[in-house]
Chain A
Amino acid sequence: EDQVTQSPEALRLQEGESSSLNCSYTVSGLRGLFWYRQDPGKGPEFLFTLYSAGEEKEKERLKATLTKKESFLHITAPKPEDSATYLCAVQAGNTDKLIFGTGTRLQVFP
């Protein structure tokens, strides 16, 4: 069965303290892996799409990487405004569905 697991469930960082969020997946035939940021009570905001192992994408303080088993979202020198839930989702096989992980709740303190 296709599965997406995110860790840690919650992460507390001091402002400027870099870290990484993990998304591990077990799917048949990865077609795309997506990262989203979601603020409380709002819709998910698209961040990155990764299609194949070795691919990397960057945007401001965020960098997403992909291997054959997992993806990392690296946050460099985070700021309080980076506090949010980060969701990973995978599309695989011949389905049009996104399989979401349960998310990592990130809190960045000044």
Chain B
Amino acid sequence: DTEVTQTPKHLVMGMTNKKSLKCEQHMGHRAMYWYKQKAKKPPELMFVYSYEKLSINESVPSRFSPECPNSSLLNLHLHALQPEDSALYLCASSLTTGPYEQYFGPGTRLTVT
């Protein structure tokens, strides 16, 4: 099974709200990723966790806060977002940080109003 699940599928939030995105995998993968994707663009890396430790932060604004509670779960906490943060947020996992294929979840479509 190569499934990565993400919840919620859709999220609409105001600029003053606090919300969280959740990602889960049960493949025994030890690397997990958050990407942001705008329409007709490739995925853009935000964060990488390796063995539950943050290994890459691509200079993402602090209004995005990642968390990896255990090897199967990855959260992205959102606070005081801007309308330009509206996008498809993708979670992915791989056996380790590479070079192994990454398996992507279905994404969360986020709209900031």
Contact = CB atoms under 8 A, between A and B. Distances in A.
Given A96-B98, A100-B43, A102-B41, A41 B107 contact: yes
A32 B94 CA distance: 13
A84 to B, nearest CB: 13
Interface stretch (B11-19, B48-56, B59-67, B77-85): B48-56
A24 interface: no
B55 to A, nearest CB: 7
Given A96-B48, A96-B50, A102-B42, A46 B99 contact: no
A32 B95 CA distance: 14
Given A41-B88, A43-B90, A43-B107, A34 B97 contact: no
A49 interface: yes
What is the interface residue range for chain A against chain B?
Answer: 20 to 34
Interface string A15-49: 00000000000000001101010000111111001
A51 B99 contact: yes
Contacts of B41: 102
A98 B58 CA distance: 12
B43 A44 contact: yes
Contact of A41 (B48, B105, B109): B109
